[in-house]
Copies of this chain bind each other. A is one copy, B any other.
Amino acid sequence: MALIVQKFGGTSVGTIERIRNVAWRVAKWHAAGHRLVVVPSAMSGETNRLLSLAAGVQEHPDPRELDVIASTGEQVTVGLLAMALLALGVKARSYAGWQVKVLTDSAHTRARIVKIDEVRLRQDLENGCVAVVAGFQGVDQAGDITTLGRGGSDTSAVALAAALGADECQIYTDVDGVYTTDPRIVPEARRLHTVTFEEMIEMASAGSKVLQIRSVEFAGKYKVPTRVLSSLTDPKLPVAEEARSGTLITFEEDPHMAMEKAVVSGVAAQRDEAKITVHAVPDKPGIAYAILGPIADAGINVDVIVQNVSHDGMTDLSFTLSRGDMPKAIRMLNEQVKPHIKCREVTGDDRMAKVSIVGLGMRSHAGIAAKMFRTLAEEGINIQMISTSEIKISVVIDEKYAELAVRVLHKAFELDQE
């Protein structure tokens, strides 16, 4: 009899009817003898409703107060879901983050989990009671309510699974697993039965939206077997069948397993990117920090960073970032950085996309990058930046070619074949 943490997203609990469906599903696992902790998000639309109330009161909402308000969305769902379980005759009890308690740092609206006190939950589990825990939220050392940022419920679920030493963390969502690429772009995309943690991390950072990257990192750090599966299947699907559905994120270190796997597991695209280039920078120590330090201090996340070899002691430094951050970043570079580092100019292009191929098999296969570049060249797609990791190759290209690139790469690496 396993200990399982199940997470249900906002769409899955978006109406009373759907909350009843989730209760059915949970009750089924409970009846099969499993011990369950369930983590629902806020009802879909609710968090936006709360944030817009806040935005109506204060132009830049106070982060502490924003968390007080935003955290109520999940608090309502845990109460409703516990009731729906009780209505089915299943013992259940809801918990807000502070009641568990989920201790976080004090970084309001984007707090990180420090420690989970799971004693009270264990008592429930021992008593055959389903613990329904509010995702997305915690409490800091001072007793103030915190939230983990958008998508934080995934992280809550994985963190609870880690704290409890759960056998599996099941993330129920509106897709039925992790695909070789986005099925809306490539209809031949296949669902992966398993994906390694490393691949999942790279796919998440490469733009696959199935799981929030922080939750994947958490799963990796604590080796929590995590399954992505659909909340849209019949709630009465037999447990044995549901248990094999979706995609399981694994932690295989066995090189033989890796050998047997496909060379490339997936193709991902991240749109809405922008590229900034700082031209003719003196190539000397500290220059990358001089450029990127102020950007980081302003809370702007930078993704791919490329610096080429220098000519005549000068080099160009390029990086990508979210499109919305570009104007601010360029203004900062021109006003605060350019006067000090004496570069020639700062240019930006806000119509970029990043397309990546990911695969643990790359470690032991040569020529993957060459094949990727040739495939893109044959379609006339110009590569503007390249970035590689051990199991991922990303290229930054003009956004208008993003879907074409995904399609041809998916085909070139035979991802449509089992």
Contact = CB atoms under 8 A, between A and B. Distances in A.
B58 A79 contact: no
A16 interface: yes
Contacts of A99: 143-145
B86 A62 contact: yes
Given A82-B62, A86-B58, A87-B58, A72 B68 contact: no
Interface in A27-41: none
Contact of A53 (B16, B53, B64, B69): B16
A65 B53 contact: no
A82 B67 CA distance: 12
Interface string A12-24: 0000100110000
Contact of A59 (B19, B65, B87): B87
Contacts of A86: 58, 62, 65
A143 B20 CA distance: 27
B84 A58 contact: yes
B16 A56 contact: yes
A6 interface: no
A211 interface: no
Interface residues of A, number: 37
Contacts of A20: 57
A50 interface: yes
B68 A78 contact: yes
Contacts of A66: 79, 83
Nearest to A61: B83
A76 interface: yes
Interface string A66-93: 1011011001101110111011000001
A94 interface: yes
Contacts of A53: 16, 76, 80
A68 B79 contact: yes
Contacts of A98: 98
B65 A50 contact: no
A54 interface: yes
B65 A83 contact: yes
A75 B76 contact: no
Number of copies of this protein chain within its complex: 2
Interface in A127-151: 143-145
A79 B53 CA distance: 10
Nearest to A70: B79
A394 to B, nearest CB: 40
A59 B86 CA distance: 11
B68 A96 contact: yes
A69 B75 contact: yes
A61 B75 CA distance: 16
Contacts of A93: 64
A54 B143 CA distance: 28
A68 B94 contact: yes
Given A59-B87, A65-B94, A99-B143, A54 B80 contact: yes
Nearest to A43: B53
Nearest to A59: B87
Given A72-B72, A82-B65, A94-B68, A87 B57 contact: yes
A16 B94 contact: no
A69 B80 contact: yes
A104 to B, nearest CB: 15
Contact of A19 (B16, B57, B82): B57
Nearest to A93: B64
A78 to B, nearest CB: 7
Given A68-B94, A69-B79, 12 more contacts: A16-B56, A53-B80, A54-B79, A59-B87, A62-B82, A65-B80, A68-B75, A68-B76, A69-B75, A71-B75, A72-B75, A75-B75
6 contacts: A61-B83, A65-B86, A68-B94, A69-B79, A72-B72, A72-B76
